[in-house]
A and B are shown apart, each in its own frame.
Chain A
Amino acid sequence: MQNDPQLNANGELRHLLSIEGLPREVLMSILDTAASFVGVTEREVKKVPLLRGKSVFNLFFEPSTRTRTTFEIAAKRLSADVINLNVAASSQTKGESLLDTVSNLSAMQADLFVVRHGSSGAPFLIAQHVKPHEHVINAGDGRHAHPTQGLLDLYTIRHYKQDFSRLRVAIVGDVLHSRVARSLIHGLTTLGTPEVRVIGPQTLLPTGVEALGVKVFNKMQDGLRDVDVVVMLRLQSERMRGALLPSAQEFFKHYGLTAQKLALAKPDAIVMHPGPMNRGVEIDSTVADGPHSVILPQVTFGIAVRMAVMSIVAGN
């Protein structure tokens, strides 16, 4: 096995590609740094000069509004120059290769690439080819990882529950296609969460998912019992077209989070969702907008977490 490509020779974070393999101390320092930025985002002048003069390229090979926007806001609050590239609509359709696109942008003096790509592993390939002073942050690759989402989920959980060492966390829905779930599972297990559960029909759970250190439940009624945190995953409508699921209605009936099902969790349980939500498919509006929901604070914390990640990798 090669060395973890996201760490430099001193074990510091040079790129953020995946939560898997990152030591606990690195995760904690990102969360602590993020905490210091939450104050910044609440000030009237929401800027710090940490990345002044640096160029951040948002390189999105897959459409995204929320993630791209929060990265843009985070970079601007760090005083960086931000260039948004919707590559899906430009050079790739002209047949330019991924690495050629990156080399061209590199020639425009990039310091940091924020990459989203439909293929698992694409940010690893880019990270292997960038210049020594350039950094790569994975903003979601295929089904593999979405580390800043995982980190903001960890941040949110820590904010509301403080300590990971006594928690039961349930992740519900389409784990098979979810990079969010994979990143969060690695983060939770690294930080010592004693029980991480995944809940879903067998068609939406990947082979051998237990090896990631999770307990598998097929029934919501069993899996939600006494949990502290419920993380609902987005269900793409195209899953209904193949043989994975018969209908959104049947999915909602068995795996949609309703107030009734949530009552099985601990009374002070929090409900999270990476967004965008499909109300009435994986989550009922009364829960999404209810007292247990921390879905909007997740978005706010997401900016601080992305500021933390950018300032740490660009500083190493």
Chain B
Amino acid sequence: MRIALFITCYNDTLFPRTGQSVVRVLERLGHTVEFPLEQTCCGQMHFNTGYRREAYPLAKRFVETFADAEAVCIPSSSCVAMIREYYPALAHENKDAEMAAGVQRMLPRVFEFSELLVDRLGVTDVGAYFPHRVTYHASCHGLRSLHLGDKPLQLLRAVRGLELVPLENVEQCCGFGGTFAVKNADVSAAMLTEKTRAVLNTRAEVCTACDNSCLMHMQGMLHRQFAGVRTLHIAEVLAGAEDAPA
């Protein structure tokens, strides 16, 4: 299958290894990855912070860039949620019938990374090896908008050498919330403290998730505390192999 990768702006700039890992996993499974270079940002940050007017052209740009893709893979639940939940509304409120039609055609072909693997490609064992104690953080958008359920866990359970330990209060937000983390920095920090406490309680070496945004937030505090826990996007865990450890 030809799979178009929407890497997302922050993964592109801050977490290139996540994108490299997505490519590695999909190619290992025998698929062809395409990367349309015109892509930039889905508009989520602007939309969620109240800059709806600025989000619209970015959304339109996304729809145009990926109009012809057979499948779009996005290693970020929150960007997928933005597209699914708010692109139709953005097209509607800007009276953009062309975009609305484009969104409708595109939506069934847009997948978050773990969704693509489990739902579209029908695989849970991607041939990965990752000999570490790992806990999984369910990001809010993955949990409540995409209803990922145990799809990421199915993928992690099939990884050789991986010891999966449950995270208590897994449904509770880590406090990132995009610009919330700086606009309400104190409440955000209090939420993050609860989350990192839960992570530390698992005694895991690695905390993984389908969103680098939550992981960046959690890693920010864990690093400050010299906690000895690293965060890794699920694609990086699944890219691990005997001959090329993650």
Is B one of A's binding partners?
no
Q: What residues of chain B have their CB less than 8 Å away from a CB belonging to chain A?
A: none
Q: What residues of chain A have their CB less than 8 Å away from a CB belonging to chain B?
A: none
